[in-house]
Amino acid sequence: MAMLFHDRYAPHDIDDETVSTQWLYKLVADLWSHWLPEEAKETILRGGFYTALAQPGFRIIALNSNVCYTFNW
């Protein structure tokens, strides 16, 4: 019996371009690279999430969502 998973991104090790979400992670990493710290690029490319210290005592934590996923039925 096949299992269907909806509202999920493909795991980072999926390289089939018909279902991979790496295109989105690469786009976001490129678009945001001018204002995010370099170390954030690694986690964006791995899973679309990052953390950045805005100022002492204030950290931004961005979590992944399904906003741009084309297979989000």
Return the HEC string of the chain: CCCCCCCCCCCCCCCCCCCCCHHHHHHHHHHHCCCCCHHHHHHHHHHCCEEEEEECCEEEEECCCCCCCCCCC
pLDDT digits (tens, 9 = 90+) for 28-58: 899 988 988 888 999 888 888 899 898 999 9
Residues 29, 45 contacting (CB under 8 angstroms): yes
- Looking at the chain, the whole-number percentage of residues with pLDDT higher than 70 is 78
Mean pLDDT computed over every residue of the chain? 81
55-70 mean pLDDT: 81
The residue that leads in pLDDT, 3 or 58, is 58
Backbone conformation region of residue 37, classed left if phi is above 0, alpha if psi is from -120 to 50, else beta: beta
- Tell me, yes or no, if the pTM score tops 0.75: no
Q: What is the pLDDT of residue 22?
A: 86
